[in-house]
């Protein structure tokens, strides 16, 4: 019998302030209650912060599109991510953001994304080698895929941005540091909202978080520094990666290039935004496919028909994968990697029946909207056929919307389809018996206890 895909059970009623603090320190999903999934707007009042949660799609459009200037990215989120991302496009606002977006745009145009197809495929081939090694080692064929998805997506970012393959040692340092940074960030955010003094925050883990941020920046800095120096001396090799375009780009207003710190900020951000989200989406897609055998078989058959005798997918194959694409999109609905978008109100305003004071936090949470009781039919069920004709387009936003929409959407879709095709064409997947993922909401929606899936080689392989 098919189990429903797992979701943390919401509380019957709203928790007290103290309970909210205790529950959300681990994962913000732990503090949700039943009404969170059916309300239009909600309010969470904390000692140092007034927060409004907006689920109503018309109001969401107002915040993200029609009145976007009145709802800039949250200062709290900016401060939270600053130790790792500095002044990067993900959290800046207004003119600074506009300029950064303009400078990054050429790197993410579709023609450029097609150019990185081969680099993504090379990372997927290396993933298969690692999977084979593990299958040979484990008698039962069970693999923890979350770690594998995190490694392969970080590897894709290394190859496409810096023309470097991620080696296992460097991978371990950077990815372990990132787990610490994520875990501690939720705690730091809660402490800030509850007005903890800085010394107490440092004692409770803030120092550990800052150190983890520095570890990641040091690994990236060691790669970027020599290339920055070569570029300044006019000795740079002719490379075709995203770093090369960042090194060359000139600000049309000031005629200046990015400084070293500015480049490090943008690369750190691309590393975070580019691997963490895609890793989360792939882990959840594999989870759902291994839980729903029929959907997996349908995706496998389609893939085999399209590939014919080819062993590896090419760009023209990937574009034809309709069912796998629907499965991926449905996974993004049930487990949107970016589970919430944090904004703040620039002036006093009204959101439905709520008076929102200037400076209040405003949150749009795809995690809630994608599972909203009054918007979706069987909201918690995995049903890829929804995407044959999506009726609730304005309530589906895994990549955000409006001018702050994800710049890497095309990149991520191509990468995910390549990696899933490599895996599905070679292996049949089954979830480990009785395994239940512990879904946690940190910076992204991840599993706290890994994802254990049995890999069986397909007969034709």
Nearer to ligand HEM, 71 or 292 (CB): 71
E strand segments, 208-295 = none
Contact 143, 136 (CB under 8 A): no
Query: Binding pattern to ligand HEM, positions 295-334, x when CB under 6 A?
Result: ----------------------------------------
Q: Does 188 bind ligand HEM (CB under 6 A)?
A: no
Q: Which residue, judged by CB position, is nearest to ligand HEM in the bound state?
A: 408
Helices (H), 107-167: 110-115, 117-137, 145-162
Nearer to ligand HEM, 188 or 268 (CB): 268
Nearer to ligand HEM, 32 or 154 (CB): 154
Q: How far is the CB of 281 from ligand HEM (least distance, A)?
A: 4
In whole angstroms, give the CA distance from residue 221 to residue 265: 10
Q: Does 286 bind ligand HEM (CB under 6 A)?
A: no
Q: How far is the CB of 76 from ligand HEM (least distance, A)?
A: 13
Q: In this structure, what DSSP letter does residue 15 have?
A: P
Q: Please list every residue from 100 through 119 that binds ligand HEM, using CB under 6 A.
A: 101
Q: Please list every residue from 408 through 437 that binds ligand HEM, using CB under 6 A.
A: 408, 411-412
Contact 423, 451 (CB under 8 A): no
Three-state DSSP class for residue 414 = helix
Q: How far is the CB of 276 from ligand HEM (least distance, A)?
A: 8
- CA-nearest of 5, 2, 6, 28 to 15 is 28
Residue 429 contacts by C-beta under 8 Å, 6 or more apart in sequence? 286, 289, 290, 296, 423, 453, 454, 455
Q: Does 90 bind ligand HEM (CB under 6 A)?
A: yes
Nearer to ligand HEM, 196 or 411 (CB): 411
Q: Which of 258, 341, 396, 452 touches ligand HEM by CB under 6 A?
A: 341
Helices (H) and strands (E) in the chain, counts: 18, 11
Q: In this structure, what DSSP letter does residue 11 have?
A: B
Q: How far is the CB of 365 from ligand HEM (least distance, A)?
A: 11
Sign of the C-alpha dihedral, residues 58, 60, 65, 68? positive
What DSSP string describes 367-406? HHHTT-TTTSSSTTS--GGGGGS-S-GGG--TT--GGGS-
In whole angstroms, give the CA distance from residue 118 to residue 152: 14
Q: Does 120 bind ligand HEM (CB under 6 A)?
A: no
How many residues belong to the site for ligand HEM (CB under 6 A)? 21
Query: Binding pattern to ligand HEM, positions 255-274, x when CB under 6 A?
Result: ---------------x--xx
Helix (H) or strand (E) holding 50, with range, is strand 49-54
- HSE-CB of 281 using CA atoms within 13 angstroms: 30
Q: How far is the CB of 277 from ligand HEM (least distance, A)?
A: 3
Q: Please list every residue from 363 through 392 that binds ligand HEM, using CB under 6 A.
A: none
Q: Does 398 bind ligand HEM (CB under 6 A)?
A: yes
Q: Which of 335, 399, 422, 435 touches ligand HEM by CB under 6 A?
A: 399
Q: How far is the CB of 298 from ligand HEM (least distance, A)?
A: 22
Q: Which of 8, 10, 205, 400 touches ligand HEM by CB under 6 A?
A: 400
In whole angstroms, give the CA distance from residue 433 to residue 3: 11
Distance from the Cα of residue 284 to its chain's centroid: 11
Q: Is 353 exposed, middle or buried (0-12, 13-18, 19+ CB in 10 A)?
A: exposed
Three-state DSSP class for residue 300 = helix
Q: How far is the CB of 284 from ligand HEM (least distance, A)?
A: 10
Nearer to ligand HEM, 113 or 303 (CB): 113
Residues that bind ligand HEM (CB under 6 A): 89-90, 101, 270, 273-274, 277-278, 281, 337-338, 341, 398-400, 404, 406-408, 411-412
């Amino acid at each position: 019998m098919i189990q429903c895909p797992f979701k943390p059970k919401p509380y019957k009623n709203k928790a007290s302030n103290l309970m909210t603090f205790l529950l959300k320190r681990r994962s913000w999903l732990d503090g949700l209650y039943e009404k969170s999934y059916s309300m239009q707007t909600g309010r969470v009042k904390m000692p140092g912060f007034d927060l409004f949660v907006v689920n109503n799609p018309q109001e969401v459009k107002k915040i993200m599109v029609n009145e976007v200037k009145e709802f800039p990215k949250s200062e709290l989120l900016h401060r939270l991510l600053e130790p790792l991302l500095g002044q990067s496009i993900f959290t800046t606002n207004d003119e600074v953001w506009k300029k950064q977006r303009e400078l990054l745009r050429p790197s993410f145009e579709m023609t450029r994304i097609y150019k990185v197809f081969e680099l993504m495929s090379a990372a997927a081939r290396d993933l298969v080698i690692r999977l084979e090694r593990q299958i040979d080692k484990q008698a039962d064929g069970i693999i923890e895929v979350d770690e594998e998805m995190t490694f392969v997506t970080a590897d894709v970012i290394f190859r496409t941005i810096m023309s470097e393959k991620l080696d296992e040692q460097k991978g371990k340092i950077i990815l372990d540091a990132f787990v610490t940074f994520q875990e501690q960030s939720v705690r730091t955010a809660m402490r800030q909202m509850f007005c903890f003094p800085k010394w107490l925050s440092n004692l409770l883990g803030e120092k550990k978080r800052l150190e983890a941020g520095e570890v990641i920046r040091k690994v990236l800095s060691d790669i970027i520094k020599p290339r920055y120096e070569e570029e300044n001396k006019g000795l740079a090799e002719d490379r075709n990666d995203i770093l090369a375009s960042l090194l060359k780009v000139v600000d049309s207003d000031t005629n200046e290039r990015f400084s070293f710190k500015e480049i490090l900020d943008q690369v750190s951000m691309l590393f975070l935004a580019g691997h963490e989200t895609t890793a989360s989406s792939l882990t959840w897609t594999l989870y759902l496919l291994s839980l729903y055998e029929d959907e997996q078989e349908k995706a496998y058959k389609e893939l085999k028909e399209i590939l014919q005798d080819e062993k590896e997918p090419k760009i023209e194959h990937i574009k034809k994968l309709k069912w796998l694409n629907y499965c991926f999109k449905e996974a993004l609905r049930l487990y949107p990697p970016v589970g919430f978008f944090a904004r703040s109100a620039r002036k006093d305003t009204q959101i439905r029946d709520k008076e929102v004071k200037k400076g209040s936090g405003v949150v749009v949470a795809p995690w809630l909207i994608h599972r909203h009781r009054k918007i979706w039919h069987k909201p918690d069920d995995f049903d890829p056929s929804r995407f044959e004709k999506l009726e609730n387009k304005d309530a589906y936003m895994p990549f955000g919307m409006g001018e702050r929409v994800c710049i890497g959407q095309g990149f991520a879709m191509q990468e995910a389809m390549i990696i899933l095709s490599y895996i599905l064409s070679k292996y049949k997947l089954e979830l480990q018996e009785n395994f239940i993922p512990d879904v946690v909401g940190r910076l992204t929606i991840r599993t706290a206890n890994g994802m254990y899936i049995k890999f069986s080689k397909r007969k034709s392989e």
